Amino acid sequence: DQQVKQNSPSLSVQEGRISILNCDYTNSMFDYFLWYKKYPAEGPTFLISISSIKDKNEDGRFTVFLNKSAKHLSLHIVPSQPGDSAVYFCAASTSGGGADGLTFGKGTHLIIQP
Amino acid sequence: DTGVSQDPRHKITKRGQNVTFRCDPISEHNRLYWYRQTLGQGPEFLTYFQNEAQLEKSRLLSDRFSAERPKGSFSTLEIQRTEQGDSAMYLCASSPIGQRLDGYTFGSGTRLTVV
């Protein structure tokens, strides 16, 4: 049973426009959410996170929104740049202290078109 | 120290053979994690060490898998009697104690192919 779901395997966006990547979760015990970015032949790299006590976190071009009642989060990238083309993973944890493993979604392949 | 290092990058082995992978975390990081990623899936948590103590193991870690971190520095992951279903990318990550999960740093992984 997938506890973290990314229902769009791929997304194509024009350079300069907004990219919106979505993630749904089923486990109400999750209290910390992260987005990772992965290029081919590299490990995932941390992008942005959000605690369940917040509904928005912003870092430069990246903003994560959390809707706890809907068990949904989204990552907004604006403006999208060619270097943003990568696979994006949504991940969740039941503790914020690093002692618990992360549960990942299957990923969304974002393609930024010139 | 440039990050988390994993060796080898690629491993091809025959079914039934044993394989061992190594992970060197960032030197000041006390916590070390192993994940497995199969094609089309996200990384799946396998096990976690704090210093030399293995504190958590996933049910994915069958008795053919064993992980060690003998001196609280590098870690090894051994798979005995490999099966084709073990073919995957094995990822190692490390983080400091007391830092939230955004302190994770992943290595580039070891890709295992069992033929």
pLDDT digits (tens, 9 = 90+) for B85-100: 999 999 999 988 776 6
Grouping H, G, I as helix, E, B as strand and the rest as coil, residue A27 is: coil
- Substitution target in B6, B102, B105, B111 with the highest count of A β-carbons within 10 Å is B102
Are A34 and B101 in contact (CB < 8 Å)? yes
Q: What is the pLDDT of residue A100?
A: 63
A83: left (phi over 0), alpha (psi -120 to 50) or beta: alpha
CB contact at 8 A, B6 and B105: no
- CA Rg value for chain A: 13
With H, G, I as helix, E, B as strand and everything else as coil, classify residue B84: helix
Q: Which of A89, A101, A104 sits opposite B48 (nearest CB)?
A: A101
Q: How far apart are CA A81 and CA A32, in angstroms?
A: 27
Q: What pLDDT score was predicted for residue B113?
A: 97
Token readout for B84 is 């084709």
CA-to-CA distance for B94 and A24, rounded, in angstroms? 26
At B1, the pLDDT band (50, 70, 90 cuts) reads: low
What integer pLDDT is reported at residue B60 of this predicted model? Answer: 83
Beta bridge partners of B77: B21, B67
DSSP 3-state of B102 = helix
Asked whether the beta carbons of residue B102 and residue A99 sit closer than 8 angstroms, the reply is: no
The vertex-B9 CA angle with B11 and B107, nearest 5°, equals 135
Whole-number average pLDDT of chain B: 92
Residue A85 distance to chain B (closest CA, Å):
17
Q: Please tell me the predicted confidence (pLDDT) of residue A98.
A: 52
Residue B33's pLDDT band, with cuts at 50, 70 and 90, is very high
**Least confident segment among B14-23, B67-76, B95-104:** B95-104
- Distance, CA of A43 to CA of B9 (rounded, Å): 11
Asked if A3 reaches chain B (Cβ–Cβ under 8 Å), the answer is: no
Residue B72 pLDDT? 86
Amino acid letter, residue A106: K
Contacts of A98 in chain B (CB under 8 A): 31, 95, 97-101, 103-104
Report pLDDT for A96.
55
Beta carbons of A21 and A11 less than 8 angstroms apart: yes
Mean local confidence (pLDDT), B74-82: 97
Mean pLDDT of B54-78: 92
pLDDT tens for each residue of chain A, 114 residues long: 789 999 999 999 999 999 999 999 999 999 999 999 999 889 999 999 999 999 999 999 999 999 999 999 999 999 999 999 999 999 998 865 555 688 999 999 999 999
DSSP string for A38-92: E-TTS--EEEEEEETT-SEEEETTEEEEEETTTTEEEEEESS--GGG-EEEEEEE
- In Å, how far is A45's CA from the nearest CA of chain B? 7
Mutate to test the interface with A, among B36, B92, B101 (most CBs of A within 10 A): B101
